Chain A
Amino acid sequence: MRRTLAIIAATAATLALLVRDPAASSSAATLDRLAKTIANEEDHVTPEELEQWIKQKKTLRLIDVRSKEEFAKNHAANAESIPMDQIASAPFKSAETIVLLSEGGAHAAQAWVILQMRGFRSVYFLRNGTSGRRYEPGRDGC
């Protein structure tokens, strides 16, 4: 029995050398999923939605990806500073809901892609950034 299992394992491992890398098709599937998420507008939150989330979601983290200097000048209440150059290695938990903030929204959207590629699914960015018409940094609860 043990010899049979060893032969099966050795055969399956040898064949693994010969077939196409499944990680390659997985990468394509990941890009496809990201594209669909963006197309369905499931990648961002509006200021109104964010206000609701702040009240409802206990595991919410507001991450400001601007520089430390910009963060020191003004920032949203309860926001944490993780500058763009640290977003690829900053520790997050998969159970957390992460909302990314930046001034115009572009850097937050780029950080969204990085965190998605790191495997975090519950990640969003604030539409139009902190300079958006309805968003007021430092406002109570936001």
Chain B
Amino acid sequence: MTALLIGIAFGFALERAGLGDSRKLAGQFYFTDLTVFKVMFTAIVTAMLGVFWLARLGVVDLANISVPETYLLPQLLGGLIFGAGFVAAGLCPGTSCVSAATGRADGLAVVLGMFTGVLLCGAADLGGAALYSATPRGSETLPQLLHVPYGVVVFAVVAMALTMFMLAERIRTAS
């Protein structure tokens, strides 16, 4: 039930940000529309600051937050396939569902293609278990990977995001 409510809220936020429109998303790749970047980095900064301070105040126990494990090679390969599909379709999995839900035909086509691809890939067992479990790195977080305090990573990411927001605004006003 919680997942359903969060999913609906996420979809609503994506639609409100205009990310159900494939032209807007494709604009990110050509630097003509930086909405995707701004929306996603705003979400990252909000979540990062929220988790840090809620944990610091004792509201959230970081040990109860599941961190997905990293498998470098299969995830790099998956990232490449994901990116190629994103550029070709102009939509990613989340935004394609939003696009389909709002009645856009391209969104519906991407959702159908995505599920067909997942089904065929699963049935064919491409790569097998050896590929899926190759190059394991465990549940690494940036502070663990970089050997720096959690607060330093939070500060660096927020500083980077705010700097990029300013640059994005300059690009927008210049164009």
Contacts and interface: CB of A to CB of B under 8 A. Distances in A.
Interface of A: 6, 9-10, 12-14, 16-23, 25-27, 29-30, 33, 88-91, 94, 118-119
Contacts of A18: 151
Contacts of B55: 22-23, 25-26
Given A13-B155, A23-B62, A91-B136, A6 B56 contact: no
Interface string B61-77: 11100110101000000
For A14, A18, A88, the residue with the greatest tally of chain B CB atoms inside 10 Å of its CB is A14
Interface of B: 45, 49, 52-53, 55-56, 58, 61-63, 66-67, 69, 71, 129, 132-133, 136-139, 143, 149-152, 154-155, 157-159, 161-162, 165
Contacts, number: 79
Nearest to A26: B62
B153 to A, nearest CB: 9
Contact of B162 (A9, A88, A91): A9
A11 to B, nearest CB: 10
Contacts of B136: 89-91
B150 A23 contact: yes
Majority secondary structure of chain B interface residues (helix, strand, loop or mixed):
helix
Nearest to B74: A91
Given A21-B151, A33-B63, A91-B136, 5 more contacts: A10-B158, A16-B49, A16-B155, A22-B55, A88-B138
A22 B143 CA distance: 12
A119 B45 contact: no
A14 to B, nearest CB: 7
A91 B69 contact: yes
Contact of A22 (B52, B138, B155, B157): B52
A91 B151 contact: no
Contact of A12 (B53, B67, B150): B53
A85 to B, nearest CB: 13
